[in-house]
Amino acid sequence: MPAREKILRYGLLLLVLLITVGPFLLQLSTSLKSADEDVFTATPQFLPSKPTLDNYVTVMETLPVLKYARNSLIVAFLVVTGNAIGATLAGYALARLRFRGGKLVLGAFVATLVLPEEVTIISKLVTIQSMGLSDTLLGVALPDIIGMLNVLLMRTAFAAIPKEMDEAAIVDGANAWQRFLRIGLPNVRGMLSVITIFAFIGAWDNFLWPLIVLTDPENLTLTVGLNYLNGTFSANPRLITAGTMIAFIPVVIVFATLQRFFFRGVEEGAIKG
């Protein structure tokens, strides 16, 4: 690649970086600014002159942000565990075991994909209420414990394992459960990581559903709580920015640690919408 093209490409990359990541950095910088620094001016200093974690301490002491974070973690934990187990088991059965009605069940899973989740939130709310779970974290997590898309993604991953491996194991007398543990699982770790990342991010970032289910301020998840605080404490951007960073940083860490699985899938052409 000629040097001129290289410079042009890196220049463009940096420009897009500024547009996509800039607002987050600005937010991070504001959250680190001390009380005597002006954060209201139209042209704020980019770097805090005296970086401090005071705002984070204040947010955690005076606002229930830690409680919100704990609530979000509980929901995310339930959703991640449920999907890792439920979607994996079902995906395996649909991909590797033949049984009467299997095609029909698969068709039903696929059919749900054309259904935007917003269409059914009202009747899901009614279902959650009739289970006595209104205004509970379990009620927030329950509908997402097994995602239909995740079942289908796991099915695709299991289906990619060569048939001969199963046949060899059958010759050795392995039953379905042993084949699942020894041949199936070790070969789908990449996809399992991908659905785990997105189950976590989806649960952690979800806003509409917890907003509808939760009413007690004690029970709010981080996104709903932040929206609430944003309305109440908009006069103090340092606190709001610290709060948004507390909501943002965990997903960045989860994504950064597991992103190689995601991008490997992208390069293999496995991820399509």
Partner 1 sequence: MISRPADRAVPAARRGGIVHQRWFTPWVLIAPAAAWLLIFSIWPVINTIILSFTNAKPLSGGRFTGLQNFERALNDDQLADALLNSVVYMVVCVPLLTFLPLLLAVLVEKRLPGITFFRTAFYTPVIASAVVVAIIWSWMLNEQGMLNGLLQQFRVIQEPLPFLTDRWLLLFSAISLTVWKGLGYYMIIYLSALGNVRRDLHEAAAVDGAGPIRRFFHITVPGVRNTMLLVSVLISVNALRVFSELYVLSNGTGGPGGRDMSVVMLIQLYSRGFTGHLGYASALSLLLLVITIGPMLLLTRLGRDDRKGT
Q: How many CB atoms lie within 10 A of CB 30?
A: 21
Radius of gyration for the chain, computed over Cα atoms and rounded to the nearest angstrom? 23
60: contact with partner 1 by CB under 8 A: no
Q: Which is nearer to partner 1, 74 or 121 (CB)?
A: 121
114: contact with partner 1 by CB under 8 A: yes
267: contact with partner 1 by CB under 8 A: yes
Segment 178-207, which members bind partner 1 (CB under 8 A)?
180, 201, 204-207
Q: Is 151 exposed, middle or buried (0-12, 13-18, 19+ CB in 10 A)?
A: buried
* 97/219 Cα distance (integer angstroms): 42
Of 226, 238, 239, 242, the one binding partner 1 (CB under 8 A) is 226
* 146/180 Cα distance (integer angstroms): 19
CB of 191 to partner 1, least distance (A): 15
145: contact with partner 1 by CB under 8 A: yes
* 241/219 Cα distance (integer angstroms): 22
160: contact with partner 1 by CB under 8 A: no
User: Which single residue is written with the structure tokens 């995602």?
Assistant: 147
* 138/66 Cα distance (integer angstroms): 19
DSSP state of 200: H
37: contact with partner 1 by CB under 8 A: no
CB of 162 to partner 1, least distance (A): 14
Of 53-61, 63-71, 188-196, 230-238: span binding partner 1 (CB under 8 A): 230-238
244: contact with partner 1 by CB under 8 A: yes
26: contact with partner 1 by CB under 8 A: yes
11: contact with partner 1 by CB under 8 A: no
Q: How many CB atoms lie within 10 A of CB 217?
A: 12
Segment 121-140, which members bind partner 1 (CB under 8 A)?
121-127, 129, 134
Of 57-65, 73-81, 170-178, 188-196: span binding partner 1 (CB under 8 A): 170-178
Of 13, 35, 66, 160, the one binding partner 1 (CB under 8 A) is 13
Q: Which is nearer to partner 1, 28 or 60 (CB)?
A: 28
Of 24, 48, 67, 84, the one binding partner 1 (CB under 8 A) is 24
Contact between residue 229 and residue 240 where contact means Cβ atoms under 8 Å apart: yes
Q: Which is nearer to partner 1, 114 or 186 (CB)?
A: 114
4: contact with partner 1 by CB under 8 A: no
CB of 92 to partner 1, least distance (A): 6
- Helix-then-strand count for the chain, H and E: 13, 0
232: contact with partner 1 by CB under 8 A: no
What are 97's two structure tokens?
Answer: 């075991």
Q: Give the binding-site size for partner 1 (rule: CB under 8 A).
A: 103
CA distances from 131 to 121, 126, 134, 135, 142 (A): 15, 9, 8, 11, 11
Question: DSSP letters of 155-194?
Answer: HHHHHTS-HHHHHHHHHTT--HHHHIIIIIGGG-HHHHHH
